[in-house]
Chains A and B, each alone.
Chain A
Amino acid sequence: MTQTKPDYKLFDKDTRAIVFGYQQNAIQRMLDFDYACRRETPSVACIVNPTREGMHKCFWGTKEIMIPMYRTLKEATTKHKDADVMVNFASFRSAYETTKEALESKTIRTVAVIAEGVPEKRARHLAKIAKDKNKWIIGPATVGGLAAGKFKIGNTAGTLDNIITCKLHRPGSVAYVSKSGGLSNELNNIIARNSDGVYEGIAIGGDRYPGSVFVDHIMRYEKNPEVKMIVLLGEVGGTDEYEIVDLLKKGKIKKPLVAWCIGTCSKVFPAEVQFGHAGARAGAERETADAKNIALKDAGAIVPNSFEDFDKKIKQTFDKMVKEKKITPQPDVEAPKIPIDYKVAMKEGIIRKPTEFISTISDDRGEELLYCGVPISKVFKDDIGLGGVIGLLWFKKQLPKWATDFIEMVVLVTADHGPAVSGAHNAIVCARAGKDLVSSLASGLLTIGPRFGGAVQGSADHFTTYLYAGHDPAFMVKDMKKKNVNIQGIGHRIKSVTNPDVRVEILKKYAKKHFPNTETLDYALEVERLTTSKRGNLILNVDGCIGVLTCDMLRSIGYSRDQVKEFVKLGILNAFFVLGRSIGLIGHIIDQNRLKARLYRHPWDDILYDLPSKPEKVK
């Protein structure tokens, strides 16, 4: 480690850190602080993220920069020898190992351990390693700390607004140390309002065995000529404050020390109440906040009567030093303007932007997923079923039961039609070629169109065209004949008037019983009467039946004839077929894979090879 800083200085304007853990917000906040301080280089040298490597993009003022990200600390320390701080966001489970590794590296001198709940035994061990190696730990269980105008650990000092208000973008003359990270922000505020501001502030963390203790930092401040006065915020429990008392008595702390220990109220509490911090419990009289405050005062610290006077004591002490010319107040410096984050600005309602996408059917942003305004829990509570969900997402309507049941019937009826039809055949061939499920399914679905499965769509189109135009069935039959177009949905290979298709019978019966409007079906049945009089198998087939009944369903739930025509054009009928038949196609794919069916090759003898002896020559 090439150390250029004096022992008492952990951070300066060139300090660079390795951030362990992919804490994007904390990283951005560190960089924003750097920018506000007019640092030349970002304080984050690199990131260690055990699950990803590469580059992390973040803002440097108005520009974007890239910060390298590695999987191991070893790589990070090897490539960034100038980084002597690690900000460790590892969880309480892994904070010990990662901190130990950092302390054992050649280049890292200071580790800030953010995690709460590091076992005491581990924290104690880390503190020992640090001491043996003459290194520093801040934490565990802390937000960290900062050197004003120089370097900031992770999330310390809150938002940029607060940083500027508390003048933390440039150094003042007062250094503080506290246990609590939560209160450090209040200290920043108090010190900024009652002096020329914070020089450095460290929150050592509320655990029983913090990696560095009050006195460690106070002695650094004592040695640092840029620090003019020191502020301590101690706490009930433990005896660490007495080390300061001893040093005061020995005259080793010469700078004014304004101190207060919180928890003076513990005397009025029942014995069993535990405050927030792990160490905060007075086991003996000596450990009470009152006893500590008295001891500090007796030893020469400036101790208020209550937290209530804390600000005044700081101000008095500071003003006195200014008067005695012991402090030249640091000038205020204007911070460069930093653009507000888009997300924050959006939240505060001070910017707007046009959207690129519109969604009118579902919303995943809130507490609960919404289908057309219906929370997913209600979907289950009301048991609206698959048909109900299709109603919400396709038609944006809460459909009556007869309609949702009809939709489900359509799915069931179209689910499969054996392995020989185009879709299934394609899916099977594809699966047997070793392709994955999604590819095989897509291969099958791609056959659906005008010839395969398309009769559903086609019949809806044909019948509504003539019906809505006001033509009678006889005209339609004659007109189609004249145009030499087969009426889609009419005709079956085997079934006939005398041998009806049971699927068609079920659907027709259901519609007659439940549909308020069956105008298309009635029209189609009239057509069927005419066509079957010519030939027995020219019946309304299952595709045709689904086609016309879907149109009737749409009319029955309140859509106009124009809207129904639009749905037909949008391909809604194919959609029903695609949805239903996907079930069967997936079945065939799974079936083939389960059977370990081998690659399919069509036999030669099933192909007529009829090639010319040579190609025709184009002149």
Chain B
Amino acid sequence: MAQRGVREYDAKHMLAKYWNDYVSKDFSYTGKVALVDPKTDMDKLANTHPWLKKDKLVVKPDQLFGKRGKHGLILLNATYADAKKWIKERMNKETKVGKVSGTLTHFLIEPFTPHKNEYYIAIKGNREGDTIYFSNHGGVDIESVWDTVAEIHIDIDENIEKRDFQKLLPKDTPQENKKIISDFIKGLYTFYDNLGYTYLEINPFAIENNEIVPLDLVARIDDTSEFEHTLQWGPLEFPAPFGRNLSPEELFVKELDAKTGASLKLTVLNPKGRVWTMVAGGGASVIYADTIVDLGFRDELANYGEYSGDPSTEFTYHYAKTILELMTKEKAPKGKPKILIIGGGIANFTDVAKTFTGITMALREFKKKIIDSNIKIFVRRGGPNYQEGLKIMKNLGKELEIPLEVYGPETHMTRVVPMALEGGKQ
């Protein structure tokens, strides 16, 4: 994988834990954060976090989406009793945020801190190094005040001790704040750089009584650096992006995927769609979906699906079965067959005939339903032993008496798409 979002709770917790090591000993961050998930006993939580019952609180969902204030998903200046009630009303509820609907499952509780000024800081990695963005005008859509933002570029492997950040701050930075802000910038960058972060934005944060108060924080971490940070991170969760709940079939494939070193992916885009794909390879699967969309059949595309990395016969069987189950839930619209594209590029070393074994098992099992649902199958694949693989498929079509067309490397990878959708052979 790569850069992945982490919960605001985890990032803040980590920030507090390493504050003295990386940020500064001259000023502090209280690190008062608590996370509530569906299993949390909120009375017990108050025992381990006594401040929950003393302080006024802020509560908000912690599920990798922003603009929580705008969506009315933030509770301010609340007692713990208020917080419990507010969370209870929202926990496990389907909620729409912008265009995306999902279930609320995680909430962050922090002390409510009255403050004067709000500041903006973000650090973002790029090919040349990292860029720090700072403004004295945080808490708003930063694009609208972009001219107040100072950009500080840090080169790859640069020794930042030699940089004078005070000189790089925006001109409107009050003299009395210059030291604490520049020290915080340097410290936060060190924290970011030492813990595998690739994106860290605090918008806004406040400075009150020699304390930094990060009010809203967004962070992404490079999960491939896990082996370098295992001990520092502790158990760190990379939650799935907020979004629609997976269907049982998608969940099943996700579980299959987790069980094998190979890759099995399924996203149902439109269960009533006429065109289903089951494509070998990450790149090829995208191209098949592209072509279906490019040729004007975006409303007919039912799924995105990919299998790669040489899954075992058992796994390909279950995967193919899942797609066939979804496909045969409903009959084809009148006059138009349903289409299943069993596609793929030219495999490097995967034995094509072998990978087809699981698929043929599933097709055999679904013979009747395939006929009933008026499904037409198109196969295109190349690679080691592909002649044998294609022969197996061809014979299966005859044996099951289902419409099944088979093509090899001599046919352009996506040509089966127009053949299937626009009808007729080339």
Query: Are A and B interaction partners?
Result: yes
A265 CA to B414 CA in the complex, in Å? 14
A267 at the interface (CB under 8 A from B): yes
From the candidates A155, A190, A280, name the one contacting B412 in the complex (CB within 8 A).
A190
Question: Is the beta-carbon distance between A268 and B301 smaller than 8 angstroms?
Answer: yes
A22 CA to B184 CA in the complex, in Å? 47
From the candidates A158, A165, A265, A310, name the one contacting B304 in the complex (CB within 8 A).
A265
Question: With A120-B224, A275-B286 as given contacts, are A270 and B243 in contact (CB-CB < 8 Å)?
Answer: yes
Q: Please name all residues of chain B whose beta carbon is closer than 8 Å to the beta carbon of A180 when the two chains form the complex.
A: 282-283
Question: Is the beta-carbon distance between A269 and B269 smaller than 8 angstroms?
Answer: yes
Distance in angstroms from B300 CB to nearest chain A CB is 11
Question: Is the beta-carbon distance between A143 and B348 smaller than 8 angstroms?
Answer: yes
The binding surface of chain A is classed by DSSP as loop
Question: Is the beta-carbon distance between A306 and B294 smaller than 8 angstroms?
Answer: yes
Q: Please name all residues of chain B whose beta carbon is closer than 8 Å to the beta carbon of A272 when the two chains form the complex.
A: 100, 240-244
Q: Please name all residues of chain A whose beta carbon is closer than 8 Å to the beta carbon of B318 when the two chains form the complex.
A: none
A332 CA to B80 CA in the complex, in Å? 79
A121 CA to B287 CA in the complex, in Å? 30
From the candidates B263, B284, B289, B346, name the one contacting A158 in the complex (CB within 8 A).
B346
Question: With A185-B347, A190-B412 as given contacts, are A158 and B283 in contact (CB-CB < 8 Å)?
Answer: no
Question: With A125-B157, A263-B290, A268-B269 as given contacts, are A120 and B304 in contact (CB-CB < 8 Å)?
Answer: no
A119 at the interface (CB under 8 A from B): yes
From the candidates A92, A143, A193, A264, name the one contacting B294 in the complex (CB within 8 A).
A264
Question: Which of chain B's residues 1-59 have a Cβ closer than 8 Å to chain A?
Answer: 1-3
Question: Is the beta-carbon distance between B301 and A308 smaller than 8 angstroms?
Answer: no
Which of A119, A193, A236 has the largest number of chain B CB atoms within 10 A?
A119
From the candidates B282, B287, B348, name the one contacting A155 in the complex (CB within 8 A).
B348
Distance in angstroms from B347 CB to nearest chain A CB is 7
Question: Is the beta-carbon distance between B294 and A276 smaller than 8 angstroms?
Answer: no
Chain B interface residue count: which class?
A: 35 or more
Question: Is the beta-carbon distance between B3 and A208 smaller than 8 angstroms?
Answer: yes
A495 at the interface (CB under 8 A from B): no
Distance in angstroms from B249 CB to nearest chain A CB is 15
Question: With A276-B286, A307-B290 as given contacts, are A271 and B99 in contact (CB-CB < 8 Å)?
Answer: yes
For B281, the closest partner residue in chain A by CB is A182
A262 CA to B292 CA in the complex, in Å? 12
Question: With A262-B283, A265-B301, A275-B282 as given contacts, are A162 and B295 in contact (CB-CB < 8 Å)?
Answer: no
B410 at the interface (CB under 8 A from A): yes
Q: Please name all residues of chain B whose beta carbon is closer than 8 Å to the beta carbon of A268 when the two chains form the complex.
A: 269, 293, 298, 301
Chain A proximity mask over B252-267: 1 for CB below 8 Å, otherwise 0: 0000000000010101
A329 at the interface (CB under 8 A from B): no
Question: Is the beta-carbon distance between B382 and A189 smaller than 8 angstroms?
Answer: yes
From the candidates B156, B282, B290, name the one contacting A306 in the complex (CB within 8 A).
B290
A165 CA to B408 CA in the complex, in Å? 13
Question: Is the beta-carbon distance between A120 and B125 smaller than 8 angstroms?
Answer: yes
A443 CA to B15 CA in the complex, in Å? 66
Q: Please name all residues of chain A whose beta carbon is closer than 8 Å to the beta carbon of B410 when the two chains form the complex.
A: 193
Q: Please name all residues of chain B whose beta carbon is closer than 8 Å to the beta carbon of A188 when the two chains form the complex.
A: 346
A348 CA to B347 CA in the complex, in Å? 17
Distance in angstroms from B1 CB to nearest chain A CB is 6
Chain A proximity mask over B135-163: 1 for CB below 8 Å, otherwise 0: 00000000000000000000011000000
Distance in angstroms from A273 CB to nearest chain B CB is 5
Chain B proximity mask over A121-138: 1 for CB below 8 Å, otherwise 0: 110110110000000000
B214 at the interface (CB under 8 A from A): no
Question: With A272-B100, A276-B263 as given contacts, are A159 and B156 in contact (CB-CB < 8 Å)?
Answer: no
Question: With A271-B99, A307-B414 as given contacts, are A262 and B290 in contact (CB-CB < 8 Å)?
Answer: yes
Question: Which of chain B's residues 369-426 have a Cβ closer than 8 Å to chain A?
Answer: 382-385, 409-410, 412-415, 417-418
A501 at the interface (CB under 8 A from B): no
A279 at the interface (CB under 8 A from B): yes
A158 CA to B225 CA in the complex, in Å? 30
B127 at the interface (CB under 8 A from A): yes
Question: Which of chain A's residues 294-332 have a Cβ closer than 8 Å to chain B?
Answer: 305-308, 310-311
A83 CA to B298 CA in the complex, in Å? 51
Question: Is the beta-carbon distance between B348 and A158 smaller than 8 angstroms?
Answer: yes
Chain A proximity mask over B95-108: 1 for CB below 8 Å, otherwise 0: 00001100000000
For A183, the closest partner residue in chain B by CB is B283
Can you sample 29 A-B contacts with CB below 8 Å?
A: A119-B196, A120-B2, A124-B129, A128-B156, A128-B157, A157-B348, A158-B346, A158-B383, A159-B383, A162-B383, A162-B384, A182-B308, A185-B383, A186-B345, A207-B2, A209-B127, A263-B290, A264-B290, A264-B293, A265-B290, A268-B301, A270-B100, A273-B267, A276-B282, A278-B3, A289-B290, A306-B290, A307-B294, A308-B412
B residues with a Cβ closer than 8 A to A are: 1-3, 99-100, 125, 127, 129, 156-157, 193, 196, 198, 222, 224-225, 227-228, 240-244, 263, 265, 267, 269, 281-287, 289-295, 298, 301, 304, 306, 308, 345-349, 382-385, 409-410, 412-415, 417-418
Give 7 A-B pairs besides A120-B3, A183-B287, A277-B282 with Cβ atoms closer than 8 angstroms: A117-B224, A158-B346, A158-B347, A182-B283, A186-B382, A268-B298, A306-B291
